[in-house]
Amino acid sequence: MKLTDRMKFAAALCAAGVAFGAVHASATEDMTNWDGDARSGVRLIAGARPVGAPQLRAGVEIRLARGWHTYWRYPGDSGVPPQFSFAGSSNVKQVDVLWPAPERKVDSGGTSIGYSTSVIFPLRVVPQQAGKPVALRLRLQYAICEKLCVPAEARGDLTLASGRASQDAALTSAERRVPTRLALGEGGDLSIRSLRRERVDGAKERAVVDVAGPAGLDLFVEGPTQQWALPVPTPVAGAPAGLQRFVFELDGAPTGEKYQGALLTLTAVAPGRSIEVVTRLD
């Protein structure tokens, strides 16, 4: 799906999402009820918070039926990313959504990036006034796909307080799946060693990325803004000993944007761990 197609689907998601949501979720002590249907559901969960901690921990959990998948913040060739809104929350200064490492999915529509099992998106919530109750209000618009893709919407309200939480272990596990931020060349046995441009035999210019890591690792790339639609990197032969090489064509930049000097985000995903590197394509 090209960038314009994703934009059209996102518009359809906004227009039609309400039809796929269930009744507004009501809150229990540390989680909301599931809001969804047989294909997918969403709930807010709270994490444990020591008294006096500056931030609150929470999460948005998407439950997926077997055979269905949803998308990462950059969906690849098809799909649209989840859209989180916390408008209407009480005593909330800022909410940061953390993205667990995704996986590659190849089908007749191309290569997409996302999650084929249930996933928790950790949240970091900064209160407007420390020590006072925080009421988190979620509106999530997202897409779920099997053979066809459909838009969905979910809502939930949850009060976050200090103390223990029944879903803290699951939230902690999801937090461990969030890629570690490193610089180019950092990371030892899992690291992105180099990024460069090259042109081969008059073909379109491409980027070459060499990665150190175990067998089975994967690589994803994002442009400086959501308007960029870079191809999903492809593994190729030719890397130096001990490294794995990925390439992607320099295609998908918005009109008027240059590839040279563009700030790219590279995410390397290995079994059990992942890293993220933000660097310029010089």
pLDDT in tens, 58-95: 999 999 999 999 999 999 998 899 999 999 999 999 99
Question: What single string gives the DSSP state of each residue in 139-183?
Answer: EEEEEEESSSEEEEEEEEEEEE-SB--TTHHHHHHHHHTSPEEE-
Count the residues in the chain: 282
CATH code for position 67: 2.60.40.1250
Do 161 and 106 lie in a common domain?
A: yes
**Whether residue 21 is found in the same domain as residue 120:** yes
Same-domain check for residues 128 and 187: no
Using DSSP's 3-state secondary structure scheme, residue 29 falls into coil
Here the tokens at position 76 are 């690849």
Percent of the chain, pLDDT > 90?
Answer: 77
Please, what is the average pLDDT of the chain?
A: 89
By residue range, what is the domain housing residue 71? 3-176
CA distance 21 to 40: 10
How many domains does the chain fold into? 2
- Same domain, yes or no: 26 and 127: yes
Task: Give burial (CB, 10 Å; 0-12/13-18/19+) of 129.
Answer: exposed
- Convert the pLDDT of each residue in 172-189 to its tens digit: 999 999 999 999 999 989
Q: Tell me, yes or no, whether 168 and 185 share the same domain.
A: no
> Do 133 and 194 have their domain in common?
no
The pTM for the full model equals 0.89
Instruction: Give the max Cα distance, the chain.
Output: 64
165 and 184: one domain? no
Is residue 98 within 8 A of residue 63, CB to CB? The reply is: no
